[in-house]
Amino acid sequence: MLRALWQLIGSTGDNAQEGGFSIMVTGGFGGSAQYMLGLKQINEGTLEYKQSQTLLDMSMVVGYRFGATTIAYGGPYVTLGNISGTSTVRAAPGAAGTDYAVTSSGNQIGFHLGTQFALSDVFSIILEVAYNQISWQNISMQNQIKGGLSTAFKF
């Protein structure tokens, strides 16, 4: 995925000062293509598929720096996705097959909150929680709240 970040207000992390607000927007676009041949089915037939995916991702992040080593941040995000391709089902390898079109699209919309604690110039601990709703084609998934703890190394 190709991603771009735009700092609208405030200093970047390298020049940040205590008590400073920052606002950043992000955007990303990516895609991939897959081709699989000869996946086994229960009846010893095969499944082949060709598929491509595209994603568009956008977010806004607002942050506040409590000190030289601690920042709290959060904001909304949206991801739009699209899948297209074909699946071919064969009764046996090499036999004539039946083609099925594969098309689908969906989105993920949410909001996240996080805090980052820098333990040194190169190592940080990050704690995040996010609320999101995923909707794919005509299937709406339940609203979800997820949390996570991660580390970051800066080189």
Tens of pLDDT, residue by residue, the chain (155 residues)? 788 989 999 877 666 677 888 999 999 999 887 777 656 555 666 777 788 889 999 999 999 998 888 999 999 999 999 988 888 877 776 777 888 888 888 898 999 999 999 898 889 999 999 999 888 876 767 688 888 988 888 77
Contact 5, 33 (CB under 8 A): no
Tell me the backbone φ, ψ of residue 19, rounded to 5 degrees: 85, 5
Q: How many CA atoms lie within 13 A of 125 on its CB side?
A: 4
CA 25 to chain centre: 15
Instruction: For the beta carbon of residue 142, count every other beta carbon within 10 angstroms.
Output: 6
Of 61, 73, 58, 63, nearest to 113 (Cα)?
73
Q: For CA atoms 108, 113, 118, 121, give the dihedral sign.
A: positive
pTM across the whole model: 0.73
For the chain, what is the domain count?
1
d(CA 94, CA 96): 7
Q: Which domain holds residue 22?
A: 2-153
